[in-house]
Amino acid sequence: MADYRKMWEELGMDLETHDQLCEVLPQAFGDVYLSQENRPEGMDYYNMVVADIHGIRPAELIEHQKKGGKVFGTFCVYVPDEIVFAADAIATGLCGGSQFWVPGGEKVLPTNTCPLIKASVGARLDRTCPFFRIADMYVGETTCDGKKKAWEILGEDVPIHIMDLPQMKREKDIKAWAEEITTFKNVVEEFTGNQITAEKLGESIKLINEKRKALERLYELRKNEKLPISGRDVLLISQIAFYDDPKRFTKMTNALCDELDQRIKDGVSVISSGTKRILLTGTPLAIPNWKLHNIVETSGGVVVCEEMCTGTRYFEHLVDETRTEVAGQIEALAERYMNINCACFTPNTGRLDDILRLAKEYKADGIIDVNLKFCNLYDTEGYLVERGLKDAGIPVLGIETDYTDSDAQQLRTRVSAFIEMLNH
Ligand code: SF4
Ligand code: SF4
């Protein structure tokens, strides 16, 4: 790993505590990823990105800032990256997926807050993540209660703009979301000093659509009986999609897909026949949360699809590229983003429809509905989702977990029993 200490120091990071994180990550990555057999060669790129996760990309973002560019940190797939990139700024995902950051969040948040929020707040306040230090402005949203209140705490430390996400999907809500996107555009223009023209916005819509298409292509390949790539590897790619340079990410993901196409032609598979195909649905799995995929894939199963924000919710549905006026482009953005089915909406029946459709497309043998501890929204929605799946005759296992390893053994027992049951 290159020496980035000077850069971290200049970012005002707590180097001593950060060193502890740098020590545990490679071990975890090695255990979960490098132990796999027959990985595609194209994974080398993502291995490299993750090995230098706090170095390479942060250095690029700082370079961008030195040239006068701004960096926006986001926490949710409803926030349109297109607006940010259209102002020659960079958007980067900031969701925390490590237990390492949770105690820092618990210093200011109630313990019964979901680990994703606690880790995100802890990463900022404890100064142990360069991405959280670099972002010039955070973009929050009014999705769940935990996040809404966390913005007030984070807002004391860093400039933050909050987007008011509707909670229903009526015609007037989609209009309201378009208005919110317009307000966001004005904020971004003012903060960056760059105007967002129709031409610029058109380019960034294409840029992000291309990224979505590359991910869609990758997911398509998982529909094959002979699986050219593991679920763990795809999860890593989905997680990296949130902060990598979009153009390079698209290129590398398409190159990987070329290799996977060839694997399919050659009949190469990373699983043996009889391995049970599992679809995961539920709360997001932010980097480096690889726990459940690892358990499934070392217990006789393989993850073939994630109906999650780190999964299909991130890339399904393209933004209409035919609109040529800014107002029309914003309408197209609002329509696309309001197609995402998150449990923060009521009703949210579209999510169950999505899961049923995906289960069929990916030929899932069973579904695991995974809930991050203390996420009330997904926990409550789990009742309707699991009932709907049972009604459709699809085996489902509901689990709740956090970022600690304390329940790993118990989870392994439950997941193994579920997969075993699918064999009969
Ligand atoms: S689960 Fe909902 S609130 Fe969380 S990132 Fe996804 S869309 Fe946003
Ligand atoms: S997992 Fe649930 S509680 Fe946590 S940030 Fe997402 S919606 Fe909020």
pLDDT digits (tens, 9 = 90+) for 45-91: 999 999 999 999 999 999 999 999 999 999 999 999 999 999 999 99
Kindly list the distances between the CA atom of residue 76 and the CA atoms of 116, 165, 386, 397, in Å, as whole numbers in the listed order: 11, 11, 24, 26
Mean pLDDT for the stretch of residues 279-306 = 97
Mean pLDDT of 346-369: 98
Tell me, using a 6 A CB cutoff, whether residue 116 lines ligand 2: yes
Strand blocks (E) in 100-249: 137-141, 160-163
Give the atom of ligand 2 at the shortest distance from the alpha carbon of 342.
Answer: 7
Instruction: Measure 109 CA to ligand 2 centroid, in angstroms.
Output: 14
Nearest of 138, 174, 195 to residue 333 by alpha carbon: 174
Distance, CA 170 to ligand 1 centroid (Å)? 19
Residues with CB under 6 A from ligand 1: 76-78, 143-144, 283-284, 309, 340, 342, 344
Q: Nearest bound ligand to CA 340?
A: 1
Nearest residue by C-alpha to atom 7 in ligand 2: 144
Residue 87, SS3? coil
Residue 40 has pLDDT above 90, yes or no: yes
Q: What is the pLDDT of residues 373-400, one digit of tens each?
A: 999 999 999 999 999 999 999 999 999 9
CA of 114 to the centre of ligand 2 (A): 6
pLDDT of 1 over the 80 cut: no
Give the nearest ligand 2 atom to 145 CA. Answer: 8
Ligand 1 center to 261 CA (angstroms): 31
Is pTM, for the whole model, over 0.85? Answer: yes
* Phi/psi of residue 2, nearest 5 degrees: -65, 160
Q: Which ligand is nearest to the CA of 370?
A: 2
283 lines ligand 2 (CB under 6 A): yes
Q: What is the mean pLDDT of the chain?
A: 97
Ligand showing the shortest atom-to-Cα distance for residue 145: 2
What percent of the chain has a predicted confidence (pLDDT) above 70?
100
Ligand 2 centroid to 205 CA: how many Å?
27
pLDDT band at 2 (very low <50, low <70, confident <90, very high): low
Which residue has the least CA distance to atom 2 on ligand 1? 342
Q: Is the pLDDT of residue 154 over 90?
A: yes
Buried b vs exposed e over 311-331: b needs ≥16 C-beta within 10 Å? bbbbbbbbbeeebeebeebbb
What token pair was written down for 335? 């329509």
Tell me the β-bridge partners of 73.
Answer: 92, 138
Q: What is the mean pLDDT of residues 151-168?
A: 97
309 CA → ligand 2 middle, Å: 11
Q: What distance in angstroms lies between residue 76's CA and the mean position of ligand 1's atoms?
A: 5
Taking residues 200-206, what's their average pLDDT? 98
